[in-house]
Structure 1
Amino acid sequence: MSTFAPGSAHLTCRALVVDREGRVLRLRDPAELPGARPEAGDHTLLEAALRAVTERTGLARGDLCLTPELLTTPVHVEAVGTGDYEFTFALYLTQDVPEPLAEADWLPVEQLNSGPLKAKLSALNLNGRPAPVNASAPVIPRPAKAPEAGGTELNIVGVHLYAEDDDGRVLLGLRHPDAAFAGDTWHFLAGHCERESAVACLVREAYEEAGLVIDAADLELAHVVHVLHGPSARPRMQLVFRARRLGGTPWLREPDKCLAWRWWDPDALPEPLVPYARTAIDGIRAGRTYSEMGWCPA
């Protein structure tokens, strides 16, 4: 996936919407997925895709639930011309919706798998996913309890560095294309806690990844994002710490994991950016301390 500076490319953001029977939503005229170019009111590329769905089909945003793929990156990115790109995001319905919809139809995957949508459907892997045919169950159910936890769900803890320079810009890194998570995507300096405290983990990761020396006393918890990446995955508690002081200048100590460190104006954040990182930045600027992502209503 490429990184686009504002004005450097024409982007169309599309939504691949799947209903509770595993059918895909497609517009009638033209015969394609709902899509729109980002506008001034769209804070993210996802916002543009959601707007396209609600405006063209009559579905409400509350009818849509983000899929696990959407919490990391779009499921498909395609160059459709010189300087033109399409970002396709995947969503599920959270409930049954009366038919017919305005300007759109629900079509079985089999009717679409041999056409232009084949690459997008392959990326989503609908054929390998059980169709959610039980109308009484949520599309993304609560994960199974971890048996070794005696009925308590174990959460993975991630730590993230929120650092600002003298101009109020936020430090973000461009992840390597081969990274296990969010390749070619901007993100906080981050890591997973081992057998250590969250603050100790962040102090270690800051030095290992970017050569930054941070005193634990200079870290304060600024925001928490509770993220669910999918029905079989453990939830993740993403802790974002603000650093009051930094020792050193960020440099690439692990080029196999990160391609660049850069300071970004929070009003002009890069795309693509890990969605929960954007949520955390927005929350910190608004004075909120907690957010949730991926938890669909029952």
Structure 2
Amino acid sequence: MPLSHDHIRTTVETYLARHPHEREQLGGLLDALDRPTDIASRSTFTGHVTCSAIVVDPLGRVLHVLHLASGKVLAPGGHTEPVDESLAAAALRELHEETGIPPQAVAPWPGYEAVPFDIDIHDIDAHPGKGEPGHQHFDLRFLFHLHAATEAPVVLQEEEVAGIEWRPVDRVTSPSLREKLLKLTRETEPDTANASALIYNDRGEYLLHLRDYLPGRIWEPGMWSLLGGGREPQDATLEHTVRRELAEEASLDIADLTPFGTEYASDDAGASVPIAIYAGRWNGDPRELRLTEGVMLAWFAPDDLHRLRIADTTSDLVRRHAASLPASTAPQSGLSSHEEHRPTSPHDTVLNVIGVHLYLERPDGTVLLGLRHPDSTFAPSTWHVLAGHCEQESAITCLIREAREEAGLQIKHQDVELVHVVHHIDKAGDRPRMGLFFRARTWTGEPDLREPDKCTQWKFWDPTALPDNLVPYTRVAIEGIRTGRPYSETGWA
């Protein structure tokens, strides 16, 4: 399906958060986003979006192509298509179509995985023969680097491209792009920007993480993988990255972590992403960890991996590491010891995840929603009520804390009432979730972006005209609250 206005707007606003001085010059793009026309369609001649791939090779040169239609030397790029899952994916598709360079031959520049490096507005001449009037292109440019060991094949799209040229930065044709590229320092040159933990125990088993099943929203949905994530500005080293991720995702602290190498995975757009692997020994019970992302953690022996939904690269990594261990920690076959000796829950009880949600309604009847960040693990670029998971606290205490931390809202315990409960599940076999929706009768403050890495916009919506890209169970809950229905179920067969 075509890229949504909200996805494009979120991407543009994230860019402007880094370049606030460009807001005025991008006013035409912002105005176009406010119109009801499809800004992603090439037939929208009031102006539409294009995407370009800025590819830098190991020598620091930037890829350009000679476009036959315009006669100009430009970065490879073009219009979006309905098959594109993101703006960055559109840029990679155009790179492949115009030059033959496949997505896996490049990697996103660290810090620019989902954010454009540059945005340019330029005029396009009319083409009467094609029935196209003069119009504008809003070009979103994504930065990639070519892998050093890659000899990328060049297969030109002959009907559109006459040739390619690798230009030094000071000869990049676009002034705004050239200016930004010249400011890149050696400290910001591309390097491995992701790290994962390969955790094993004395029985030779490996700790794996079952990811949420959210197709199109997160990487490797519903698959078993390693704990880990992307480097953040405060991480001095990639070891700091993996330790921070272990603490945030599972409250896990491993005494000794040893570099085991670098693996490569494909991101959602198809680009190759290097991941630093750190190995460490731990003999604890994963059921006692406080998991904040995904479904569960469990031990598995290498011989059992074929029974799991797991990437081949992850299986191969585990087996290679297992082969490097001394005989005293040789992997055991069969079910993991925790599965063999796991006590049975009374009457096969299944744990449910509890989430709290804030239903904030103004006197005019509008309801507060937040637009989640495009890099969010859950529901990226999607509207949702303010919500969170309980720590070691009551549900209302959690709600008050989340409202203060995420939006700067002050709510008192006595002003909160439970108005709806949603019992939902993504698919059969997933962990069930219980969503508690609380109404705040009164509050102090206006919604403020306190956590811009999670939420990019707060807005009060008319409940009769909610956005299309709204978390489904949230829509069900709001409808239930408006009709006085206290309970709903979604996802159950």
State the TM bucket, normalised to the shorter chain: 0.5 to 0.7
Paired position in structure 1 for 2:380 = 183
Q: Does 1:7 align with 2:36?
A: yes
Q: 1:6 to 1:153 in 2, by over 3 A?
A: farther
Q: Does 1:282 align with 2:479?
A: yes
Paired position in structure 2 for 1:260 = 457
Paired position in structure 1 for 2:367 = 170
Structure 2 residue runs of 5 or longer lacking an equivalent are 7-33, 41-81, 83-212, 219-268, 270-307, 310-341
CA distance in 2, matches of 1:198, 1:221: 10
Deviations 1:246-286 (A, max 9, x none): 11111000000000000000111112000000000000011
Q: How far did residue 149 of structure 1 move?
A: 3.6
Deviations 1:22-70 (A, max 9, x none): xxxxxxxxxxxxxxxxxxxxxxxxxxxxxxxxxxxxxxxxxxxxxx547
User: Is contact 2:366–2:463 with CA below 8 Å preserved after alignment?
Assistant: yes
1:9 partner letter:
D
* Higher relative contact order, structure no. (Cα contacts within 8 Å, ≥ 6 residues apart): 1
Q: How far did residue 9 of structure 1 move?
A: 3.0
Q: Does 1:233 align with 2:430?
A: yes
CA distance in 1, matches of 2:481, 2:407: 23
TM-score by length of 1: 0.53
Q: 1:8 to 1:201 in 2, by over 3 A?
A: farther
CA distance in 2, matches of 1:210, 1:294: 30
Q: How far did residue 152 of structure 1 move?
A: 1.1
CA distance in 2, matches of 1:195, 1:6: 46
CA distance in 2, matches of 1:172, 1:275: 13
Q: How far did residue 172 of structure 1 move?
A: 0.2
Q: How far did residue 195 of structure 1 move?
A: 1.0
TM-score by length of 2: 0.33
Q: How far did residue 230 of structure 1 move?
A: 2.7
Q: How far did residue 197 of structure 1 move?
A: 0.6
Taking the TM superposition and a 5 Å limit, the aligned residue runs for 1:131-150 are: 149-150=345-346
Deviations 1:65-106 (A, max 9, x none): xxx547979xxxxxxxxxxxxxxxxxxxxxxxxxxxxxxxxx
Q: How far did residue 3 of structure 1 move?
A: 4.0
User: Of 153, 159, 162, which aligns to 2:350?
Assistant: 153
Q: How far did residue 174 of structure 1 move?
A: 0.2
1:238 partner letter:
G
Q: 1:231 to 1:163 in 2, by over 3 A?
A: same
CA distance in 1, matches of 2:411, 2:353: 23
Paired position in structure 1 for 2:305 = none
Q: 1:70 to 1:287 in 2, by over 3 A?
A: farther
Q: 1:243 to 1:295 in 2, by over 3 A?
A: same
- Structure with the bigger percentage of helix: 2
User: Which deviates further from its counterpart, 194-203 or 148-157?
Assistant: 148-157
Q: 1:280 to 1:203 in 2, by over 3 A?
A: same
Paired position in structure 2 for 1:216 = 413
User: Of 260, 271, 292, which aligns to 2:468?
Assistant: 271
CA distance in 1, matches of 2:476, 2:35: 20
Paired position in structure 1 for 2:492 = 295
2:371 partner letter:
L
1:157 partner letter:
I
Paired position in structure 2 for 1:28 = none
CA distance in 1, matches of 2:477, 2:343: 31
CA distance in 2, matches of 1:6, 1:276: 28
User: Is contact 2:424–2:433 with CA below 8 Å preserved after alignment?
Assistant: yes
User: Is contact 1:3–1:184 with CA below 8 Å preserved after alignment?
Assistant: no
User: Is contact 1:164–1:170 with CA below 8 Å preserved after alignment?
Assistant: yes
Q: How far did residue 153 of structure 1 move?
A: 1.1
User: % of aligned pairs identical?
Assistant: 57
CA distance in 2, matches of 1:246, 1:149: 41
Q: What is the aligned-residue RMSD (CA, Å)?
A: 3.2
Paired position in structure 1 for 2:99 = none
Q: 1:295 to 1:6 in 2, by over 3 A?
A: farther
SS at match of 1:202: helix
Paired position in structure 1 for 2:398 = 201
CA distance in 1, matches of 2:217, 2:481: 20
1:252 partner letter:
L
Taking the TM superposition and a 5 Å limit, the aligned residue runs for 1:41-120 are: 69=214
Q: How far did residue 233 of structure 1 move?
A: 2.4
Which of structures 1 and 2 has the bigger CA Rg? 2
Q: How far did residue 232 of structure 1 move?
A: 3.6
Q: 1:7 to 1:240 in 2, by over 3 A?
A: same
Q: 1:220 to 1:6 in 2, by over 3 A?
A: farther
